Chain A
Amino acid sequence: MSDPHLYGVLAEFATAEQLLAAVARARTETRHAVLEAYSPVPVEGLVEALGPRKADRIPFWMLLGAIAGGAGTFALEWYAAVWDYPINVGGRPTGSWPAFLPPAIEMAVLGAALFGVLAMLISNGLPRWHHPLFEVESFGRASNDRFFLLLRAIDPKFDPRRAREILQTLTPLTVREVRL
């Protein structure tokens, strides 16, 4: 690759529609695979437009968290009340499983929530307090009212000059190089 310090080329758009169009063009014209799109709101269809991706595992992890929390708690209760310290409480059986359910349920919900949030953050690569895009001054509006398309330099088909040309044709507000 030519310039090792080049992270990618960033185009800024005024509307989501322009962004969507830009993404489509970028992929059809240049067969560009590694693109990233930034927006102040989730834009429907954008992810699909950016190209094939492997499905999110978040629901799976949350299920796992629920099972871990619920089954784990129930197992602990059973162990504590039936094996480790069985004792006559109010004449109730030591393994009074219906009474063991409520804590298990609560812990299942907690487990699911924790795993879900962690899965989301990790698969999003967050937290990440430093990012080349933060160096781009106009990028601040990505959290306000502007839409951005980034062609990553690591893409084998990436060619800075060509990339600029294409992006220019998409009536962007600005086109910048993002440097590491």
Chain B
Amino acid sequence: MAAQMRSEAAAAPLMDEGETYTSITSNVSAITLHRRFGRLWLTGFTVALALALLLAFGVGWLLAMGVGIWGLNIPVAWSFAIADYVWWIAIGMGGTFISAALYLTRRDWRNSLNRYAETMTVFAVSVSGIFPILHLGRPWFFYWLFPYPDVMNVWPQWRSSLEWDFFAIIAYLLVSILYWYVGMIPDLATLRDRAPTLARARWYGFFALGWRGEARHWRRFETVSLLLAGLAVPLVFSVHSMVALDFSEGLVPGWHSTIFPPFFVAGALFSGFAMVLALGIPMRKAFHLEPYITERHLVNMAKMLLAVGLVVDYSYLSEIFTAFYSMDPYEVALAKNRFFGAYAWVFWSTILCNVVLIQLLWVPRVRANPRALVAISLGVLVGMWLERFMLIVTTLYRDFVPSSWGMFYPTFWDIAFLAGSMGLFFVLYLLFVRLVPVVSMFELRKMVRKRERELA
């Protein structure tokens, strides 16, 4: 199997021989500069906007009434909102990782993926950020987590993983925005120089910061890109470890587990890769990007999805094993509860999506089939959301003291906020594909340059 994979990877060039600087530049920039709004885009945008408005209304209602509009209770004081938060920020991780880790390892095939992957990251992280804030009983005081000399003379409580996570989210959001924007500057310059109207030239010119492509500028640009990539990879791991600690710092059975950080990071990459595929394949088709996002790109992504998926599955296994191996009555009770309890269906659906479904990716034909890949990716995305729901709710609804056990039932607003967050994400994403190059032109040009030198 492995051998066969390698042969597969060797085959099919990452870019067509015929591609030149000129062709790449004009093809890609045309998508942004000259393409008309398709009906597909318009319908997609309308739906997304409607959902985003639902979210906006929900936020208003939440602020007016309180988090009680959700199905939260004691003992289940966290549920959908936190699951949504973890789900979104995890999706973000995938983008950064693909862009940065593969850059460090000089995997050229990331060059056609990194732009929209990073974009996905920026938007996913932004969307995720609203949940921890709205989830507060008094959202308008969220800034109390920020260290500043306040009137009460109180500081944040540094031992809380929520505090750590607050810093993690801020750092991650800013760094991924920087990484994304810096990497976009040369392409913005290209758009500036090719803009059909003066207004748009000014617009792109402003963001291009006056980039001219001078040799020494390029050198420094390359240095900083490399170092940022070098920072981004550990950042991904640390940030999602913080997310994991939001739970594992607790002493509740099901949360209090040292495996959580690596387990969460794996889960994050898993859902991130899935989202990259789920977004990329339709976009590739819509914008005829097949020359740049080739079958080989998809195959590689599929392999990574499978690989990291297997790590996730391993963590499931080890979690269950340790529960029984520990013989801690509470851990054992929890494990059994997940198998057979009131929320067993969530657990088993998770297993179906994240364990069973991805085994299809062992089959080369599946890996090469865009439709199948989209289907599997969507399955994984669903599975990962359910996993977070399971981790949170099945842990809380039955902990130490049976007298306090209680069920969680979502309300309309729980679901509305989840749907609305997707709406918001796609509004942003659909605007992005209209405004900036969806694949990085200068990095594709670098591949042309590389080929030239290989020939020379």
| Complex contact flag A–B (Cβ < 8 Å) | yes
Given known contacts A103-B167, A143-B193, A144-B193, A113 and B221 CB-to-CB distance under 8 angstroms: no
Number of A residues near B (Cβ < 8 Å) is: 63
Q: Which residues of B contact A76 (CB under 8 A)?
A: 147
Minimal beta-carbon separation of A81 from chain B (angstroms): 6
A38 to B217, CA, bound (A): 9
How distant is A152 from chain B, measured CB to nearest CB, in Å?
12
Nearest-CB distance from A110 to chain B (Å)? 4
Which of B49-57, B152-160, B280-288, B380-388 makes up part of the contact surface?
B152-160
In the complex, how many angstroms separate the beta carbon of B148 from the nearest chain A beta carbon? 10
CB <8 Å contact, A107 and B449? no
Residues of A within 8 A of B182 (CB): 117, 120
Query: Known interface pairs A59-B227, A81-B158, A96-B159. Does A124 touch B217 (Cβ–Cβ under 8 Å)?
Result: yes
Contact between B212 and A110, CB atoms less than 8 A apart = no
Q: What per-residue 1/0 map shows which CB atoms of A119-143 lie under 8 Å from chain B?
A: 1110110111111010000001111
**Given A114-B178, A128-B210, A141-B193, do A58 and B223 touch, yes or no (CB 8 Å)?**
yes
**Chain B 176-222 interface residues, beta-carbon cutoff 8 Å to A:** 178-179, 182, 186, 189-190, 192-194, 205-206, 209-222
Chain A residues with Cβ under 8 A from B25's Cβ?
40, 143-145
**A85 contacts B210, C-beta separation under 8 Å:** no
Chain B residues numbered 215-263 whose CB sits less than 8 Å from any CB in chain A: 215-224, 227-228, 231, 234-235, 238-239, 242, 245
From B241, which residue of chain A is reached at the shortest CB distance?
A102
Q: In the bound complex, how far is the Cα of B194 from the Cα of A102, in angstroms? A: 45
A43 to B217, CA, bound (A): 11
Where chain B touches its partner, the secondary structure class is: helix
User: Are B209's CB and A38's CB within 8 A?
Assistant: no
Cβ-defined contact, A113 with B179, below 8 A:
yes
Give the residues in chain B near A43, CB-CB below 8 Å.
215, 218, 449
Instruction: Report the contact-size class of chain B (Cβ under 8 Å from the partner).
Output: 35 or more
A1 within 8 A of B: no
Contact B227 A47 (CB under 8 A): no
Chain A residue, CB-CB nearest to B456: A17
Give CA–CA (A44, B147) in the complex, Å: 46
Are B189 and A117 neighbours in the complex by a CB distance under 8 Å? Answer: no
Q: Which residue of A lies closest to B206 (CB)?
A: A129
Inter-chain contacts of B445 with A (CB < 8 A): 40-41
B238 lies within 8 A of A109 (CB): yes
Question: Is A172's CB within 8 Å of the partner chain B?
Answer: no
- Chain A residues with Cβ under 8 A from B222's Cβ? 42
Is A64 at the interface (CB under 8 A from chain B)? no
In whole angstroms, how far apart are the Cα atoms of A113 and B156 in the complex?
Answer: 25
Q: How many A-B residue pairs have CB under 8 A?
A: 187
Contact among B21, B158, B221, B446 for A80, CB-based, below 8 A: B158
CB distance from B207 to the nearest CB of A (A): 9
A102 shortest CB reach to chain B, Å: 4
A residues near B238, Cβ cutoff 8 Å: 102, 105-106, 109
Question: In the complex, which residue of chain A has the Cβ closest to the Cβ of B223?
Answer: A58
Closest to B172 in A: A106
B164 and A103 contacting across the interface, CB-CB below 8 Å: yes
Q: How far is the CA of A121 from the CA of B182 in the complex (A)?
A: 10
A4 within 8 A of B: no
Question: Using Cβ atoms and an 8 Å threshold, which residues of chain B touch A133?
Answer: 212
- The listed residue (A36, A58, A84) touching B224 by CB distance below 8 A is A58
Whether B21 lies near A144 (C-beta < 8 A) is yes
Q: Is there an interface contact between B159 and A59, defined as CB atoms closer than 8 Å? A: no
Contacts of A25-84 to chain B: CB distance below 8 A: 36-44, 46-47, 50, 53, 56, 58-59, 62, 73, 76-77, 80-81, 84
* CB pair A110 B214 closer than 8 Å: no
A125 shortest CB reach to chain B, Å: 8
- Report yes or no: A100 in contact with B158, Cβ–Cβ below 8 A: yes
CB-defined contacts of B231 to chain A, threshold 8 Å: 109, 112-113
Smallest beta-carbon distance A73→chain B, Å:
8
- A116-B224, A117-B182 are known; give 15 further A-B pairs, CB within 8 A: A37-B214, A58-B220, A73-B167, A85-B153, A102-B245, A103-B158, A106-B235, A109-B171, A109-B234, A110-B170, A113-B178, A117-B224, A129-B210, A143-B192, A143-B193
A-B contact pairs, 21 of them (CB 8 A): A17-B456, A43-B215, A43-B449, A46-B215, A58-B223, A92-B159, A107-B171, A109-B238, A110-B175, A113-B179, A114-B174, A117-B224, A120-B182, A123-B220, A124-B214, A131-B210, A140-B193, A143-B213, A144-B22, A144-B193, A145-B21
